[in-house]
Amino acid sequence: MTSSAATHEEVERLAARVQTLEHERRQLLAVIEILEEIGGSLHFGDIVQSITRKLGEAFGLDRCAIYLAERGGQTVRLVASFEDPSIRNYVVDLDRYPELKRAIQSGETVFIPDAVTDPALRHVRGALTNRRVKSITVVPITWRGVAIGAIFLRTFRDGPSFADADVKFCQVVASLTAKALRNAHRFERLQARRGDDAGRLLDRERIALVGFIRRLIEAFAAKEGPWDEGQLSRATAEELDRLVGVAMTVLSQEASGR
């Protein structure tokens, strides 16, 4: 091998290495950005939408979505979508997505390098061809060994290939997603509990106030003797009745939360 040929091969190896390092740098930046965004929010909807957006932008995906399974795994909902952020809580038919069904039921990552030729996807081959889909990757989101959902990623045929390192990167993101969702669930449950406690405290305060007023009136009546409302003018009596009606309406509305 001539020295010029050896030099050319060395340059190609260095260029490939630089490209790999740049790819890894972008992935690390994406992880940092995801951590910053999900660390700044404890709301479930914001977390999943942020993750699909970051993954979709990082890989230039045709589709990136997060699905979550309800208890028992019989129902799966699309809760975030990169290509359509307005979709938040859409029930999907798992029979139409065998790759998603397999990932959630097995708890293992499903990677389909060429979706158009995959026998399991022949029922949607036309749609995949029209959208120029190349690969499909479904990474389960697991918590304590149980798949609670999945991240669905779909690449363009003329886009960059999905390498093993990319799949591992998505598995890291799925693990972060599981932890973030767990924290969000705990936070929302704590908020709900505090809301219930506040409601019960308000009820006790209202009961105590009414009890105090009733006892005060009864004590005053016992001290002063029978009420002689006949001394009030008709206009005054009607005004008192009107005020009592207004007060009762306000109390009723406050009690119902309107």
pLDDT range class, residue 145, cuts 50, 70, 90: confident
Domain definitions of the chain by residue range: 3-190, 200-256
Yes or no: say if 156 and 136 are a contact pair by the CB < 8 Å rule: no
pLDDT surpassing 90 at residue 150: yes
pLDDT tens-place string over residues 63-107:
899 999 887 667 899 999 998 888 888 898 888 889 999 999 999
Residue indicated by tokens 């003329």:
158
Who wins on pLDDT, 258 or 45?
A: 45
| CATH architecture for residues 3-190 | 2-Layer Sandwich (3.30)
Residue indicated by tokens 């190609």:
12
State mean pLDDT over 16-22.
Answer: 68
Q: Which two tokens stand for residue 40?
A: 């700044």
pTM for the full predicted model:
0.62
pLDDT tens-place string over residues 45-64:
788 888 898 888 888 888 89
pLDDT range class, residue 245, cuts 50, 70, 90: confident
State mean pLDDT over 180-188.
Answer: 70
